[in-house]
Amino acid sequence: MEQSKSKEKFKRKDWYKLDLSAIVYPTLQRKDFSSVYRLSVLMKEEVDPKLLQEALDRTLPRFPTYKAAIRKGLFWRYLEPNDRPGPFVQEDVKNPCQPMYFKANNRYLVRVYYYGRRISLEAHHSLGDGTGGMSVLLTMVATYLRLQGHDEIENGGLVLDIYGEPDEGELEDAYMKYANAKVCPPRLQEKAFHVRGTAEPFYTLNIIDGIMSSKEVLQVAKRYNATITEYLNAVLLYSLLTKQLKEGRRRLRPVKIAMPVNLRRFFPSVTLRNFITMIYPGIDPRLGDYTFEEIVTQVHNYMRYYVNEKLLRGDITTNAATQRNPFIRVVPLFLKDIVVRTFYARVQDRNSSAGLTNMGVLKMPESMKPYIERCDIYMGQPFSRRTNCAIISFEDVLTVNFASSIRETDVERYFFEKLVQDGIHVKIESNRF
């Protein structure tokens, strides 16, 4: 009854145009690849799937751009409200982030899994980035806890009121609102080092989790005069550089990381859709040998220069220029898809050696924290043969989650070995065991 009342409050639009980032993700869709990420919460008690389903049914209508289906028009794709049955809670699978086909699952681009004490949400990147997805997950978990009888659970942080009407700002394409620099800076990128490895069979995603103390990582980062993000970026660059040098290649290439920046930190937006842009910290071994301390310094200085409101505004203005072009607007969708897919495969994907994202410390009500042990985030299936790394913190638990589509684990091994050498205690978990 309460759920039907909440639905009546929403004056939903008939459709939502894909945001500036979301336009790209459907063009990359293949039978063996979708732009899907996973967010997980490990509870302190076993999950009740029936109660979780009720929590999902009550929560999802609060997020109109997640309770949606993707449609194809003549010139653009768009999201439309989806009132079909579902999505339905499922028992978890060994290989997460499997491709999402737009006409499957009653056209929902969201999946919810449970296993033991774990609740997981997978979402297609066309709907939104990790911040939006985490808001859906944490709001659902808060609803689940209330259904268990924990009435003290409050709203706050990423936990929204499921009976409140969505703010217009939550649904906006924030890119187009803030892409107003007076110049479009060029992007001159050079092909980066790519890890060579044995491709795993279709539907296989190798997961390696490193669980550690946030305080320990912070202490080590401070020894290098770096933030946690800068330090872990440097460790990943060090691992990739070690991999390249041990392969004995005659021709060295730059080692670079594709790192999304949450633009909500720099612009006053509460959007639950995509609002990130990419930066590429890296080193060039052709210039000489690098000590780890030099790598940290390089990353630190790069971040200080590039991660600011002015340069980020210029970057998203460059991205928006194509969409604002009157000629591009009237080009048929199938031609846009060919151009975008070709550009991404031949240029964009070659600009980095690995991906790394740090979601930082989760924002949730204090009343929820006693029921949660830790959180995880996975960037999902890489577009090409490589490994992706995602970081998230909850209380004193920092988790580094690797997701890879290749059999070899050299980069992950070098990464965690370096952390241990620096005095950080690491617990390893994997779906390979």
Domains recognised in the chain with CATH numbers: 2-178 (3.30.559.10), 206-357+381-430 (3.30.559.30)
Q: What is the pLDDT at residue 5? A: 43
Q: What is the pLDDT at residue 177? A: 94
Q: Which two tokens stand for residue 184?
A: 């479009």
Cα radius of gyration (the chain)? 21
Average pLDDT over residues 180-185: 89
Q: What is the pLDDT at residue 13? A: 66
335's CB contacts (< 8 A; 6+ apart) are none
Q: Residues 66-82: pLDDT tens digits?
A: 999 999 988 899 999 99
- 345: confidence class by pLDDT, cuts 50, 70, 90: confident
Question: Are the C-beta atoms of 86 and 68 separated by less than 8 Å?
Answer: no
Question: Are the C-beta atoms of 370 and 142 separated by less than 8 Å?
Answer: no
Q: Kind of pairing, strands 206-213 and 397-404?
A: antiparallel
- 340: confidence class by pLDDT, cuts 50, 70, 90: confident
Q: What is the pLDDT at residue 137? A: 98
Question: Are the C-beta atoms of 229 and 237 separated by less than 8 Å?
Answer: no
Q: What is the pLDDT at residue 433? A: 67
185's CB contacts (< 8 A; 6+ apart) are 311, 314, 315, 317, 318
- Where does residue 402 rank: exposed (0-12), middle (13-18), buried (19+ CB within 10 A)? buried
Comparing 322 with 59, which gets the higher pLDDT? 59
Q: Residues 232-276: pLDDT tens digits?
A: 999 999 999 999 999 988 899 999 999 999 999 999 999 999 999
Mean pLDDT, the chain, whole residue set: 92
Q: What is the pLDDT at residue 8? A: 43
Average pLDDT over residues 108-133: 98
DSSP label of 140: H
Q: What is the pLDDT at residue 350? A: 86
Residue 9 has pLDDT above 60, yes or no: no
User: Cα separations (Å) of 89 from 46, 92, 95, 106, 331?
Assistant: 15, 9, 16, 13, 40
Q: Which two tokens stand for residue 301?
A: 């200085």
Q: What is the pLDDT at residue 10? A: 45
Is the Cα dihedral 99, 191, 19, 77 positive or negative? negative
**Residues paired with 375 in a beta bridge:** 41
Average pLDDT over residues 427-432: 93
Average pLDDT over residues 294-299: 98
Q: What is the pLDDT at residue 326? A: 79
